[in-house]
Amino acid sequence: EVRDAEAEWAGGTARGSVSAVFSVPPKYEISAEVDHAELSALPWSAHWAEYWGGAASGKLRLTTTGVGRDALVAALAGTGELHLKSVELHGWDVGASMDTGTLHTGVSRWASGEGEFTIAGRALHFDSFTLDNSHIRTRLDGTLDFSQDLNLTFAPAPIDRRVVKSIPAPRLFQLRGPLEKPVAAVEIAPVAQARKQQ
């Protein structure tokens, strides 16, 4: 067991503990807290920094079992919570794209973001993650695959039920494909999803 370990990581600080049980097969548990890591410095891929900026803090708990990298990655599972500041997505203006229904290039900026995530099936999964700026809240759902493919959907956050009948189905901004060169698209939310937001 390793307790109260601390290291510099991605421009911030990581603190945590590791428990390893050398049974057959070996089992591992990792708990960590990260403070003020730079999103652009996260070691997700060589192209990650081209698109994302900001600061991240949060908590993470991982478990895995097996021998060798492939077995450990295949069995990797976890949960966590994330808090973001000064988030930037370079390449597209998500808000303008959803407002007009056509793609707008540029930079998307949010003052903060927060939510929970899970790790399973060789991917990082976001469900109802929220991004906030001064005039709008955006919901983020989707996955970042360990193979460096992404499938992310940005949508207006749920609105007041009392006025929803007069507002058309929201537009969605989608980012899909390899992280090296993702493809963006704007779509109208399916009826079932629009009702779920309400």
Secondary structure class of 166 (helix, strand, coil): helix
- Per-residue burial over 77-89, b if 16 or more Cβ lie within 10 Å, else e, is ebebebebeebeb
pLDDT at 42 over 90: no
Per-residue CA distances from 4 to 17, 64, 82 (Å): 6, 20, 20
- Residue 14 structure tokens: 């990581």
DSSP class of 101: S
CA angle 33, 37, 39 (to 5 degrees): 125
Q: Determine the Cα–Cα distance for residues 157 and 76; give it in Å rounded to an integer.
A: 31
Per residue in 124-143, pLDDT tens?
A: 999 879 999 877 899 999 99
Position 192 scores a pLDDT of: 43
Mean pLDDT value of segment 44-66: 90
- Residue 167 structure tokens: 């507002």
Q: What is the pTM of this model?
A: 0.83
